[in-house]
């Protein structure tokens, strides 16, 4: 069995993130692993062809990054006070490609990802992130459906 010392949890800051977090923390503790939290902001290219398009995005990019930094800080403070070894990152790009590159660059041993985050039209427009990660990941991927978790 491969050693699991680095676990990546990609987050979107929706309610799904907090629902899955107890499982992530349990896995980190069980393996005595380092936890990596990654948030990916969609790149402007993903908005090409839409009415607002990349020009709108360029005007909003700084605000998107600042909002993500605040959300990440809040997540760490509120949800991870009992986890000692946490590294966070915020990247811009295609979500699946950026997650896979992050895994490769950081020698991640396992990914824990929600099967559902965004819903509705956004999911239809951009597809399933979890599905793409499962197909391309160079390491094991644990998927969790946050809407099937029993309290």
Q: What integer pLDDT is reported at residue 83 of this predicted model?
A: 93
- What is residue 123's predicted lDDT score, i.e. its pLDDT? 47
pTM for this entry = 0.84
Paired tokens of 100: 């896979």
pLDDT of residue 38: 97
Model pLDDT, residue 65: 87
Q: Which CATH superfamily is domain 6-148 in?
A: HUPs (3.40.50.620)
Q: Which of 106, 109, 116, 113 is nearest to 133 (CA)?
A: 113
Q: What is the pLDDT of residue 125?
A: 39
Structure token pair of residue 28: 């980190």
Task: Round to whole Å and give the CA distance between 88 and 69.
Answer: 10
Listed as ranges, residues in the chain with pLDDT below 50 are: 120-126
């Amino acid at each position: 069995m491969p050693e699991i010392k680095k676990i990546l949890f990609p987050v979107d800051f929706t309610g799904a993130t907090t629902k899955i977090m107890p499982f992530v923390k349990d896995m980190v503790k069980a393996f005595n692993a380092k936890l990596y939290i990654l948030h990916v902001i969609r790149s402007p290219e993903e908005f090409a062809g839409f009415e607002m398009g990349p020009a709108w995005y360029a005007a909003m990019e700084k605000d998107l990054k600042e909002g993500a930094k605040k959300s990440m800080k809040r997540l760490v403070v509120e949800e991870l006070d009992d986890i000692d070894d946490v590294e966070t990152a915020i990247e811009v790009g295609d979500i699946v490609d950026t997650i896979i590159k992050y895994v490769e660059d950081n020698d991640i041993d396992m990914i824990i990802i929600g099967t559902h985050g965004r819903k509705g039209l956004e999911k239809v427009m951009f597809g399933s992130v979890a599905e793409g990660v499962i197909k391309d990941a160079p390491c094991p991927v644990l998927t969790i459906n946050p809407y099937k978790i029993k309290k």
